[in-house]
Structure 1
Amino acid sequence: MNADFIKQRNRFKSATMKRIDVSDESYTNVTNILATIAKPFHVRKGEYLQRAGVPATQVHWLASGVARSGFFNRDGVEMTLRFYREGESATTLTDLINGENGQAAVQFLIAETPIHGFTLDWKLACELRAQHEVMQHYHLNIAMAGLQSLAQRAYNCGETSAQERLAAFREEYPGLEARISQRAIASYLGITPQYMSRLRREAEAEATAGEARRA
């Protein structure tokens, strides 16, 4: 059993319990079960955790750092889908399921910062889930939280302006903007880095004007 994995997971217990709505007992039990297969990993900024075109076989749980998932469209343009932070599993579920049959992953996972974490073999994790009812309920809650996030993301992309999408990004990922590249954020918002710079300048100008009015 990996004691460091348990220690690191416990750092994020309260936040994760709130995010996916599970009990202390459930979180602890799942942590202890997964600790039997957890293996440490380290990557530098810019390194891939998962490459598109290669079957996905591992879940990456992050103890520190930020990862980004995305894909390349038909024109070869990089499209960002979401970000993963400390205490979260960087996972592209469809790719993991398809990887069981040897199919290549469509999405990539790349380190936006140096990352320390633990890999969990997907096949072994599925076997453990089949054996433990607590893991079945736990992962159902994760799936539901993921679907809610996906639905909100779809709305933000289709029904809001770039300014509103930036505001939604800042609300969903507080503090992340200062840790990652402007290019990555622009890709997530579906705009160019140049337009991203313009949005930031406009936001800063509005904030300055607001402070002047209050003075």
Structure 2
Amino acid sequence: MAYLLLAKQRISMAEQLIQAIRKLADIPKGEANRLLNISQLKPIKRGELFISEGQIPRKFAFIHEGLFRYYYVDDKGSEFTKGFFPENSFLSSYSAMIQQKPSHFSIEALEDATISVVKYQDWQGILSTHPCWQSLLLALIEKAFIKKESREREFLLFDAEKRYRIFLENYPGLNQRIKQHLIASYLGITSVALSRIRRKMGVVNLG
């Protein structure tokens, strides 16, 4: 019985991954199966790092269940959250991975999660075999660039309250899943400042 449930879970998660990539590019069925063949389903615990700062990344992943963040740590040990990544997102320290250089940031699970992990070497093995993979890669890079450009604009032009409102719009529902100090680090403000903004807006403080 447990084996059948596990098999059904694997099929469901395989379909989830295929649906996600097909929203980004036209992936034929046979090619989609090739990606599944090089993907390894893996559970990851809350607080566990998928990629550590200083590590040379040799893998990326798709999130089936759970929530992750990218974060930097400065010389004083202060953390700065780069972004949050919920279900149906891809995880990678991309520039470090393609250059085979140490990552400048860490990727941490904020919840118990299930991911599909793909080794970069295996990905390179299929990348040039069909145009669909180049299309998928381009779509992912464009999506990341748009996100990066929007984030830079927020910091240059908007105050903390406006940035928080944008966070709530861009990440619906995550306000209830992420602790206040992590949201503050994403916004570039202190937890005290975020508490003031939340009280002003009538948002419940999660601590």
2:18 and 2:32 in contact (8 A); partners too: no
Q: Does residue 193 of structure 2 align to residue 195 of structure 1?
A: yes
- Take 1:109 and 1:5, find their aligned partners in 2: how far apart are those partners? 24
Q: Does residue 153 of structure 2 align to residue 152 of structure 1?
A: no
Could you list the runs of 4 or more consecutive aligned residues of structure 1 that deviate by over 4 angstroms after TM superposition? 2-6, 12-18, 27-30
- Take 2:44 and 2:196, find their aligned partners in 1: how far apart are those partners? 32
Name the aligned partner's letter for residue 128 of structure 1. I
- Take 2:93 and 2:8, find their aligned partners in 1: how far apart are those partners? 26
- Take 2:8 and 2:103, find their aligned partners in 1: how far apart are those partners? 31
Q: Does residue 141 of structure 2 align to residue 136 of structure 1?
A: no
1:13 and 1:27 in contact (8 A); partners too: no
Aligned partner of 1:171 in structure 2 is: 169
Answer with 6-15 or 195-204: which moved more. Answer: 6-15
Name the aligned partner's letter for residue 82 of structure 2. L
Q: Does residue 16 of structure 2 align to residue 11 of structure 1?
A: yes
User: Residue 193 of structure 2: SS of its match in structure 1?
Assistant: helix
Q: For the structure 1 residues 5 and 96, does the alpha-carbon distance in structure 2 shift closer, same or farther, using more than 3 Å as the test? A: farther
Q: Which 5+ residue runs of structure 2 have no aligned equivalent?
A: 1-6
Map 1:25-36 onto structure 2 (within 5 A). 26=27, 28=29, 31-36=32-37
Q: CA deviation at 1:32?
A: 2.0
- Take 2:166 and 2:20, find their aligned partners in 1: how far apart are those partners? 20
2:17 and 2:62 in contact (8 A); partners too: no
1:186 and 1:193 in contact (8 A); partners too: yes
> Deviation digits for residues 168-196 of structure 1, max 9, x if unmatched?
11111111110111111111000111111
Aligned partner of 2:3 in structure 1 is: none
2:39 and 2:118 in contact (8 A); partners too: yes
Q: For the structure 1 residues 5 and 143, does the alpha-carbon distance in structure 2 shift closer, same or farther, using more than 3 Å as the test? A: farther
1:3 and 1:35 in contact (8 A); partners too: no
User: Residue 42 of structure 1: SS of its match in structure 2?
Assistant: strand
- Take 1:58 and 1:135, find their aligned partners in 2: how far apart are those partners? 16
- Take 2:193 and 2:17, find their aligned partners in 1: how far apart are those partners? 35
Map 1:81-160 onto structure 2 (within 5 A). 81-99=82-100, 103-160=101-158
- Take 2:177 and 2:76, find their aligned partners in 1: how far apart are those partners? 28
- Take 2:12 and 2:82, find their aligned partners in 1: how far apart are those partners? 30
Identity %: 23
Query: TM-score, normalising length from structure 1?
Result: 0.83
Q: For the structure 1 residues 124 and 13, does the alpha-carbon distance in structure 2 shift closer, same or farther, using more than 3 Å as the test? A: closer
